[in-house]
Copies of this chain bind each other. A is one copy, B any other.
Amino acid sequence: MSLDRLIKGIKEMNNPTVAGLDPKLDYIPEYIRQAAYEKYGKTLEGAAEALFEFNKGLIDALCDIVPAVKPQAAYYEMYGWQGVRALERTIAYAKSKGMFVITDGKRNDIGTTMEAYAKAHLGVTDVEGESFEAFGGDALTVNGYLGTDGVKPVINVCKDKDKGMFILVKTSNPSSGELQDRSIDDGLTIYRTMGNMCEKWGEELMGEYGYSGVGAVVGATYPEQLGELRKALPHTFFLVPGYGAQGGGAKDVAPAFDENGIGAVINSSRGIMCAWKKEEGLDPKDYAQAARREAIRMRDEINSVKN
């Protein structure tokens, strides 16, 4: 009912990072794509097969050193239901290897509809008395614009199934401030207000490390706000995107951690997935080993700056 399984994984591996699995076709070595197209043609199904095979190699190479993966739903939906099936297979495979899976879907809706998303991504779906895990992630990213009605159904599933969520608080993109940085009537910014809501929603889901099951997404590209929010939200665990390709460095993510060196998990997607393209003379068949080397480099870099 909290994010304790994630925090435990981070501690055991001494690695506060998550590998983003946002596979685009041009991140995938040609030999994997060709093998998929030979089976299924240059189709959505062929592309989806390539996505899964690429992910499988990455998961195999990372699962003993990186505690979590974060597949981004958009990159699978782009390939239709066939891509969504590759998402489901990726989640199942990562879990079979012991990884914690954060499904990055930024889902949001009201009451019963949000309940459907919560069942889809974290819980189980009932078909005439039989229960099925539709996607089976361990945590889901959620957009909180709709208020408590849009979060409560996720809280309920988290309680029931020992799952967690991350609410968008201060996102990593350049225009995130257009709305999120505005101050509201009590003088607090919108992102801070959303952060305070996370603290409140999390009360029902407290874990043993002092962090609740309601985490927050806070971008590495805004280190000042990251530090402000770390102090203001002592029970809210952070998922930090924006490290690497988006411009955030190790020093930028340091403020995300508490005095015990926990409190955040830092995501890298392109940096890890595309590491093989940056090593000169590398055989593309060794793409996953290149990803592993980058994941270790990132782990060590981040450990060197956190408390």
CB pair B146–A75 under 8 Å, yes or no, is no
CB pair B185–A182 under 8 Å, yes or no, is yes
Question: What separation, in Å, do the CA atoms of A193 and B79 have in the docked complex?
Answer: 34
CB pair B179–A44 under 8 Å, yes or no, is no
* A134-151 Cβ-contact flags toward B at 8 Å (1 or 0): 110000000111111110
A178 adjacent to chain B (CB < 8 Å):
yes
How many residues of chain A are within 8 Å of chain B by beta carbon?
72
Residues of B within 8 A of A175 (CB): 146-150
Closest B-chain residue to A141, C-beta based? Answer: B109
Closest B-chain residue to A241, C-beta based? Answer: B110
CB pair A183–B180 under 8 Å, yes or no, is no
A213 adjacent to chain B (CB < 8 Å):
no
A293 adjacent to chain B (CB < 8 Å):
no
17 contacts between A and B (CB under 8 A): A22-B113, A33-B128, A42-B127, A43-B132, A44-B125, A47-B127, A74-B113, A77-B121, A80-B134, A81-B87, A81-B88, A110-B172, A147-B179, A148-B175, A149-B176, A182-B190, A183-B185
Closest B-chain residue to A106, C-beta based? Answer: B108
Q: Give the contacting residue for A171; candidates B44, B74, B110; CB below 8 A.
A: B110
A12 adjacent to chain B (CB < 8 Å):
no
Besides the known contacts A80-B120, A143-B145, A146-B168, 11 further A-B residue pairs in the complex with CB atoms under 8 A apart: A74-B107, A74-B114, A77-B116, A77-B117, A77-B134, A83-B134, A108-B108, A147-B179, A178-B197, A179-B194, A182-B185
Question: What separation, in Å, do the CA atoms of A106 and B142 have in the docked complex?
Answer: 11
Question: What separation, in Å, do the CA atoms of A148 and B171 have in the docked complex?
Answer: 12
A277 adjacent to chain B (CB < 8 Å):
no
A25 adjacent to chain B (CB < 8 Å):
yes
CB pair A183–B182 under 8 Å, yes or no, is no
Within 8 A of B (CB), among A201-252: none
Question: What separation, in Å, do the CA atoms of A44 and B88 have in the docked complex?
Answer: 13
CB pair A80–B74 under 8 Å, yes or no, is no
What's the least CB distance linking A289 to chain B, in Å?
Answer: 26
- Interface residues of A, Cβ cutoff 8 Å to B: 22, 25, 33, 37, 42-44, 46-47, 72, 74-75, 77-85, 87-88, 106-111, 113-114, 116-117, 119-121, 125-130, 132, 134-135, 143-150, 168, 171-180, 182-185, 190, 193-194, 197
Closest B-chain residue to A130, C-beta based? Answer: B42
Closest B-chain residue to A113, C-beta based? Answer: B74
CB pair A108–B43 under 8 Å, yes or no, is no
Question: What separation, in Å, do the CA atoms of A72 and B140 have in the docked complex?
Answer: 18
Closest B-chain residue to A87, C-beta based? Answer: B81
Question: What separation, in Å, do the CA atoms of A91 and B199 have in the docked complex?
Answer: 39
What's the least CB distance linking A146 to chain B, in Å?
Answer: 5
Question: What separation, in Å, do the CA atoms of A134 and B79 have in the docked complex?
Answer: 6
What's the least CB distance linking A99 to chain B, in Å?
Answer: 20
Q: Give the contacting residue for A132; candidates B80, B120, B177, B182; CB below 8 A.
A: B80
What's the least CB distance linking A213 to chain B, in Å?
Answer: 19
